[in-house]
Amino acid sequence: MSGEYSALLRRRALSMLQLADRLLNEGEYDLAALHAEYAAQLYLKSLLFRLTGEEWRGHSVRMLIGLLAYTLEERGLRALADEVMDFAKRNKRILAELEEAHTRSVYGPFQYSRDQSAALLHAARSVVELAKRIEKSVFGDRD
């Protein structure tokens, strides 16, 4: 079950990225932002589940990134934990905006522009790419 669940979350995350890209191209900027955020959190949850065997609740991308760094550190993978923390520091502002998209895209009093939505989609792709690099380093089996 553990491998299947992680793979399911990973597939959903990658599908969310594709959907976000399609929605962006269709002019549905709020929904593109929402699905970009979902993609980032689902891929992080997939990797965390694979590393720990635990399901992670919540929607905070920054918290999930912090948990990933902590988990890597606990497993003696200091260089990878540092890579994750460096990523979080370099992308602090856009990660906060990506995280806020979970609520603001649905309930917020404004609409996302194409540029804002595209920036959030780029941030989500960056999170997924980071997680893929970590996954490949730890497990050696992902592209």
CATH number at residue 101: 1.20.120.330
Residue 58: pLDDT band with limits 50, 70, 90:
confident
Residue 94 has pLDDT above 60, yes or no: yes
For the chain, what percent of residues have pLDDT higher than 70?
Answer: 97
Query: CA dihedral in degrees (6, 87, 101, 58; nearest 10)?
Result: 40
User: Whose structure tokens read 């993978």?
Assistant: 77
Residue 66 has pLDDT above 50, yes or no: yes
Residue 3: pLDDT band with limits 50, 70, 90:
confident
C-alpha neighbours within 13 Å on the C-beta side of residue 41: 22
Residue 2 has pLDDT above 60, yes or no: no
Domain count, the chain: 1
Domain range enclosing 113: 2-139
CA 134 – CA 127 distance, rounded (Å):
11
pLDDT value of residue 1: 45
For the chain, what percent of residues have pLDDT higher than 90?
Answer: 92
